[in-house]
């Protein structure tokens, strides 16, 4: 179909947003997503201003028999936010957040980023669990679970989703909550972007911040696994108050002394889910596990923590392939594997991480949400990140290789849908 027929079709009459076709200014920017490997060209991009625009766009796509892709923050590494030849429903103009501090609820439009939520809620001393990077979309991250700093005390993002507004594939605008269409709300909690276009998320808020305790002691991989083992044992006692990951990376840039540049390192990243002074004392031993390459521990505002890593990987700057595996436990053998694997990364920009669970996340019954079972103790993620297309095969092989080799410690058939590779594995689609 041509862009002209798309413009003339009746259901888009009254559309209040922007319609972009391949010859429109702004089309190239609107179709781009976070992963520079993704290069798809929708026939039409519907930049919606409100839920009625979404209804018009969905109805139009159905009438034309066109596939639909929904763009929230555009961060999905498989590029699910954009499709070839179909209708891309771009929610980038719908980022409003309304906070009701008395009811402790934030009403968040479907195209908001986590930055929008944090900046609106923190002036009230309130927060809801998001991710670790502030320019990730609320929608995609939430619909497949949402693993962030506050998971220890307040669970995943979906565990705080109390109601939502959804446009279904047949063009109906539905409210969903514990009382209205509860099955749909259940499905949104971990079922991915498969049940309609969410135009509004309502999240429960919790008192937290503005000052929080952030820990980030950095050790060299060549100095051995001692600090990671100590961190694992520490979290066995304090995992209900500490959202954490051990992240492997390559030292470089102004934050590191030059003699460490190029060294493979790991950072014991933690946010204390409680009072900052209490957290400072509790997390102190994690800084005393050997010779530090660098140390970024300190009290800071929650918004600063949320935005601290945004510049690490700007949108569109890198080619990416990310995989993750849930682990039942974190034995020494898995720590050794992760350390060796970090040394083998073909790109200095790649990251790999061990994430803890437990706490409030683990207390949600499997049948309560479409996310399913919560018995995993840990997750191992491999973020292949590189620049040159000629290095695609080596970097994809590295991410997949670590994912495959960690299977021996994995929970059979379990995958986190937000780190789906390029969507080629059946288990990444099932999520069960
Ligand atoms: C730099 C970076 C950091 C990340 N950090 C974390 C992290 O800390 N924790 C974590 O859990 N994940 C993290 N992720 C993974 C992230 O959760 C997923 O990439 C997620 O898909 C991003 O959501 P989005 O809205 O930005 O993505 P998009 O690509 O816009 O959308 C993702 C999926 O959701 C669908 N969708 C989007 N909006 C809607 C909507 N309104 N209604 C229905 N469906 C919709 C899309 O069609 C697509 O299938 C990170 C990703 C990146 C790139």
State the DSSP string of 146-173: ---TTHHHH--GGGGEEEEEEE-TTS-E
pLDDT band (50, 70, 90) for residue 426? low
Q: Which of 47, 72, 90 is the last residue of a domain?
A: 90
Distance in Å, CA 130 to ligand 1 centroid: 11
State which of 182, 207, 232 marks the end of a domain: 207
- 215 and 202 within one domain: no
* Residues 146 and 57 occupy one common structural domain: no
Q: How far is the CA of 132 from the centre of ligand 1 (A)?
A: 12
* Whether 261 and 367 share a structural domain: yes
Q: Is 198 in the pocket of ligand 1 (CB under 6 A)?
A: yes
Judge if the beta carbon of residue 323 lies within 6 A of ligand 1. Answer: no
Helices (H) and strands (E) in the chain, counts: 14, 20
On whether both 332 and 356 belong to a single domain, the answer is: yes
CA–CA separation, 32 vs 20, rounded Å?
Answer: 13
Q: Average pLDDT of 6-13? A: 56
Number of domains in the chain: 3
Q: Please check whether residues 67 and 145 belong to one and the same domain.
A: no
Strand partners, 206: 127
- Quote the ligand 1 centre to 143 CA distance (angstroms): 8
Query: What is the residue whose two structure tokens read 């906070």?
Result: 99
Q: 253 and 376, same structural domain?
A: yes
Q: CA–CA distance from 343 to each of 250, 400, 432 (Å)?
A: 9, 15, 32
- Segment 184-197 mean pLDDT: 94
Residues 217 and 365 in one domain: yes
Check whether residue 224 and residue 352 sit in a common domain. yes
The residue contributing the CA closest to ligand 1 atom 47 is: 70
CATH number at residue 112: 3.30.465.10
Whether the per-residue pLDDT at 305 is higher than 80: the answer is: yes
Token pair, residue 400, equals: 């997949």
Q: Residue 274, Cα to own-chain centre: how many angstroms?
A: 22
> Residue 151's pLDDT band (boundaries 50, 70, 90)?
very high
Q: Identify whether the C-beta of residue 237 lies closer than 8 Å to the C-beta of residue 152.
A: no
> pLDDT value at position 2?
39
The pair of structure tokens assigned to 24 is 């429109």
Nearest alpha carbon, ligand 1 atom 51: 75
Pocket test for ligand 1, best of 141, 198, 317 (most atoms within 8 A of CB): 141
Query: Which protein residue has the closest C-alpha to ligand 1 atom 32?
Result: 140
410 CA to middle of ligand 1, Å? 24
Q: Average of pLDDT values for 103-111?
A: 98
Beta-carbon count within 10 A of 184 CB: 19
Domain membership of residue 65 as a residue range: 3-90
Q: What is the pLDDT, as a whole number, of residue 408? A: 92
Q: Are residues 266 and 390 located together in one domain of the fold?
A: yes
**139 and 13, same structural domain?**
no
Q: For the chain, what's the residue count?
A: 432
- End-of-domain residue from the set 181, 207, 233: 207
The residue among 95, 102, 100 whose CA lies nearest residue 117 is 95
243 and 302 share one domain: yes
Question: Above 80 in pLDDT, residue 425?
Answer: yes
Kindly give the number of the ligand 1 atom that is closest to the alpha carbon of 140.
Answer: 23
Residue 339 has pLDDT above 50, yes or no: yes
Q: Establish whether residue 72 lines the binding site of ligand 1, counting it when its CB lies within 6 angstroms of any ligand atom.
A: yes
Does 156 contact ligand 1 (Cβ within 6 A)?
no
Check which CATH number belongs to the domain holding 257 and give it: 3.40.462.20
What is the pLDDT confidence band of residue 313, given thresholds at 50, 70 and 90? confident
Which pLDDT belongs to residue 254? 87
For residues 404-428, give the mean pLDDT: 84
Per-residue pLDDT reduced to its tens digit, 352-366: 999 999 999 999 999
Q: Which of 199-203, 393-397, 413-417 has the lowest mean pLDDT?
A: 413-417
Per DSSP bridges, beta strands 44-47 and 87-90 are: parallel
């Amino acid at each position: 179909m041509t862009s002209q027929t798309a413009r003339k079709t009746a259901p888009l009459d009254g559309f209040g947003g922007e319609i972009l076709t391949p010859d429109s200014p702004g089309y190239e920017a609107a179709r781009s997503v976070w992963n520079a490997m993704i290069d798809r060209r929708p026939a039409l991009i519907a930049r919606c201003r409100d839920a009625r625009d979404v209804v018009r766009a969905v109805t139009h796509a159905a009438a034309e028999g066109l596939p639909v892709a929904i763009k929230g923050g555009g961060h999905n590494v498989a590029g699910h936010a954009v499709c070839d030849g179909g209708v891309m429903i771009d929610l980038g103009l719908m980022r409003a957040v309304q906070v009701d501090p008395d009811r402790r609820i934030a009403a968040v439009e479907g195209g908001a980023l986590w930055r929008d939520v944090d900046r609106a809620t923190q002036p009230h001393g309130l927060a809801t669990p998001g991710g670790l990077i502030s320019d990730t979309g609320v929608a995609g991250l939430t619909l497949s679970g949402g693993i962030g700093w506050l998971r220890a005390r307040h669970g995943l993002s979906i565990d705080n989703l109390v109601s939502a507004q959804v446009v279904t594939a047949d063009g109906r605008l539905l409210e969903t909550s514990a009382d209205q269409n509860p099955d749909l709300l259940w499905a949104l909690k971990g079922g991915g972007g498969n049940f309609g276009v969410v135009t509004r998320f309502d999240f429960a808020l919790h008192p937290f911040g503005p000052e929080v305790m952030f820990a980030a002691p950095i050790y060299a991989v060549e100095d051995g696994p001692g600090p990671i083992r100590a961190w694992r044992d520490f979290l066995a006692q304090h995992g209900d108050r500490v959202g954490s990951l051990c992240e492997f990376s390559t030292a470089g840039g102004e934050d590191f002394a030059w003699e460490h540049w190029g060294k493979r390192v790991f950072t014991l990243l933690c946010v204390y889910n409680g009072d900052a002074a209490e957290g400072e004392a509790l997390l102190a031993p994690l800084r005393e596990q050997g010779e530090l390459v660098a140390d970024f521990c300190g009290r800071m505002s929650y918004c600063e923590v949320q935005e601290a890593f945004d510049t690490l990987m700007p949108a569109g700057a890198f080619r990416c392939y990310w995989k993750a595996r849930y682990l039942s436990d974190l034995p020494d053998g898995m720590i050794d594997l992760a350390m060796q694997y970090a040394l083998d990364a073909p790109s200095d920009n790649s990251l790999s991480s061990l994430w803890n669970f437990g706490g409030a996340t683990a207390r949600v019954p499997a049948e309560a949400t479409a996310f399913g079972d919560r018995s995993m103790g840990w997750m191992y993620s491999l973020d292949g990140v590189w620049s040159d297309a000629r290095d695609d095969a080596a970097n994809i092989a590295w991410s997949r290789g670590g994912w495959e080799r960690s299977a021996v410690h994995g929970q059979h058939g379990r995958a986190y849908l937000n780190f789906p590779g390029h969507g080629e594995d059946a288990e990444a689609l099932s999520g069960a």
